[in-house]
Structure 1
Amino acid sequence: MATVRRRTLKALAGLIVFIFFTSFVLNYSHIAVTTTWSPKQMVIELSENFKKLMTYSHRPCTCAHCLSQRGVSPWFDERFNWSMQPLLTAQNAVLEDDTYSWWLRLQREKRPSDLNDTVKMLFQVVPGHVDPLLEKKPWGCRRCAVVGNSGNLRESSYGSQIDNHDFVLRMNKAPTAGFEVDVGSKTTHHLLYPESFRELAENVSMVLVPFKTLDLEWVVSATTTGTISHTYVPVPAKIKVKKDRILIYHPAFIKYVFDSWLQGHGRYPSTGILSVIFSLHICDEVDLYGFGADSKGNWHHYWENNPSAGAFRKTGVHDGDFESVVTATLASINKIRIFKGR
């Protein structure tokens, strides 16, 4: 024990000497030209540098502003659960009873298969560990763009700006081909469910958002036998996504978004808000594009002309208005930025 203490004291003393010497060299070279060096000034500089070092060591990233920084907003701190894991793995696949019961009710599956058996089959096919790229590092600054599907992206010219992010998250059937100037061409992670599936480029990771047990079974089938071709609508029997590029959104994380962030509004969260809260847990800075209505108040997709645009807001499944309040509040406390387009 005494040896450990002596080593700790030596390390601390060495750190202080290093800071003092660095401060001396930098400050003396700056002020010697104009004034005489002052020991008092050096002590003040040493104190300030030490404070900066201690502050930096407790920051969750190296960005100018880290969105997961505690103590900035009580509203955010009440909702953001640092321990929640966004992705399902072989190590965290056991659901609490209340979470499992809630999840089963989302799409009212009548005779669901046993979840444990399904998960075992799932992780025999796809990786049962978290994608290392998604693990946040305290010395990094991961900038992420979450690209929604709103018509306000038309004529926005956000493409190059979006592609300049480290991660670009898209969702559901959103295309990029033909819309690159406004929506960009880069995608690192694409969130979807069986009924909203679209083929992805080889370098894109698919993040399945499971709303029912059948969705997990579909992943197994679609990458092997191709026996499942219908859920409540026709779905692709086979997909070309590489198995090691398939990630699974955690059902418990869906409930966390519903309980903590949506406060029970709607029946369950939309893929849009699920993507936003997902990004808060894997990114250091988050920019939102393609969310909300266009400048004329229409809610529609940028790739289609929909005469009944906006009808989905009142389906009773998702509460689009409350989800907009959540994202607007996040922007108002500088946790995210929202680019509203046209």
Structure 2
Amino acid sequence: MLLVFQTPVDEVSEGMCACKDCVRQQTHSFWFNELYDLSIQPLLTWENHVLSEDIYKYWKGLQKNKNEDNYTAVVEKLFSLFPDKMQYSDASPKHCRTCAVIGNSGNLKGSRYGHFIDLHDFVISTYKKVSPSVKANRHKVMILHPAFIKYVHEIWLLKRGKYPSTGFLAIIFALHVCDQVSTFGFGADQYGNWYHYFEKTSNKVRTGAHSGSFEFDTMMQLYLENKIQVFRGR
């Protein structure tokens, strides 16, 4: 999974955020504290690319063709294209870093959230397909670590579904690198239909290989715990 940020990111620095509440701080919530592991490294670098046997087995299970994919070859190719640098945060006691996570739900249509989304420091979007006209800055491209994907699937989702959806991965990633998180375009539309905004019809109730209902319930629990804001759209 590749994450392309809309705005540049700086190197990690020590210190707490300037927000009233920082999402990465542990709270009185036993539920959140049990699930949230601040020590997990969300991003893959050359330094941490060697996988333990169980993580490698999990990564292999995600591949469509399990006979041809060679992890070492994939990693070498990745770091020949993208920078090998742990730069995903600009944490500072003087700054409150806000992030908008954009899902693919059809409830985005006509929501008019565009300007509000643009006010966030970071915008993390999930796409079905990136247009060839979009030219990503190689210094803004980061790769999720297989261990992080496994952590989200097994700890946050209790192994529900075959693997986490891109949108849910983006939400948990944001919890690890942002100070305040807002979500847009998740869940069903106002009529209870689950579909992607880029699909022609909205008469669908399916979530594919993902446990959509469990992911949505977990997202709403994060909202109730005051860890994220949820904007449902239409």
1:64 pairs, out of 10, 14, 20, with 20
Percentage of identical aligned residues: 43
1:339 pairs, out of 204, 213, 231, with 231
| 1:107-146 matches, cutoff 5 A | 107-131=63-87, 134-139=88-93, 140-146=95-101
Q: For residues 269-315 of structure 1, what are the alpha-carbon distances to aligned partners after superposition, in whole Å with 9 as ceiling and x for unaligned?
A: 0101011001111100000111001110111223443255233x2x3
Would you identify which runs of 4 or more consecutive aligned residues in structure 1 move more than 4 Å?
none
1:157 pairs, out of 91, 101, 112, with 112
User: Once the 2 structures are TM-superposed, how far is the Cα of residue 143 of structure 1 from its aligned partner?
Assistant: 0.4
User: Once the 2 structures are TM-superposed, how far is the Cα of residue 253 of structure 1 from its aligned partner?
Assistant: 0.7
Aligned to 1:89: 45
On the 8 A contact 2:193/2:202 being kept in 1, the answer is no
Matched position secondary structure for 1:152: helix
On the 8 A contact 1:125/1:243 being kept in 2, the answer is yes
User: Once the 2 structures are TM-superposed, how far is the Cα of residue 324 of structure 1 from its aligned partner?
Assistant: 0.5
Q: For residues 58-83 of structure 1, what are the alpha-carbon distances to aligned partners after superposition, in whole Å with 9 as ceiling and x for unaligned?
A: 98311011111113311111111101
Q: Judging changes above 3 Å, is the alpha-carbon distance between structure 1 residues 136 and 244 closer, same or farther for their aligned structure 2 residues?
A: closer
Q: For residues 90-118 of structure 1, what are the alpha-carbon distances to aligned partners after superposition, in whole Å with 9 as ceiling and x for unaligned?
A: 11101111011012112353323432243
On the 8 A contact 2:126/2:167 being kept in 1, the answer is yes
Q: Judging changes above 3 Å, is the alpha-carbon distance between structure 1 residues 260 and 136 closer, same or farther for their aligned structure 2 residues?
A: farther
Q: Report the Cα distance in structure 1 between the residues aligned to 2:172 and 2:90, rounded to whole angstroms.
A: 15
Q: Report the Cα distance in structure 2 between the residues aligned to 1:116 and 1:151, rounded to whole angstroms.
A: 38
C-alpha RMSD over aligned residues: 2.0
Q: Report the Cα distance in structure 2 between the residues aligned to 1:113 and 1:158, rounded to whole angstroms.
A: 40
Q: Report the Cα distance in structure 2 between the residues aligned to 1:118 and 1:305, rounded to whole angstroms.
A: 35
Q: Judging changes above 3 Å, is the alpha-carbon distance between structure 1 residues 80 and 109 closer, same or farther for their aligned structure 2 residues?
A: same
User: Once the 2 structures are TM-superposed, how far is the Cα of residue 138 of structure 1 from its aligned partner?
Assistant: 3.5
Matched position secondary structure for 2:62: coil
Larger Rg: 1
On the 8 A contact 1:59/1:69 being kept in 2, the answer is no
On the 8 A contact 1:79/1:261 being kept in 2, the answer is yes
Q: Judging changes above 3 Å, is the alpha-carbon distance between structure 1 residues 308 and 156 closer, same or farther for their aligned structure 2 residues?
A: closer
Q: Report the Cα distance in structure 2 between the residues aligned to 1:242 and 1:159, rounded to whole angstroms.
A: 22
Q: TM-score, normalised by structure 2?
A: 0.86
Q: Judging changes above 3 Å, is the alpha-carbon distance between structure 1 residues 291 and 200 closer, same or farther for their aligned structure 2 residues?
A: farther
Q: For residues 116-146 of structure 1, what are the alpha-carbon distances to aligned partners after superposition, in whole Å with 9 as ceiling and x for unaligned?
A: 2432333133211123xx2241312100111
Q: Report the Cα distance in structure 1 between the residues aligned to 2:119 and 2:187, rounded to whole angstroms.
A: 22
Q: Report the Cα distance in structure 2 between the residues aligned to 1:154 and 1:338, rounded to whole angstroms.
A: 16
| 1:200-279 matches, cutoff 5 A | 201-202=134-135, 241-279=136-174
Q: Report the Cα distance in structure 2 between the residues aligned to 1:307 and 1:167, rounded to whole angstroms.
A: 29
The AA in structure 1 aligned to 2:217 is V
Matched position secondary structure for 2:101: strand
On the 8 A contact 2:193/2:203 being kept in 1, the answer is no
The AA in structure 2 aligned to 1:302 is Y
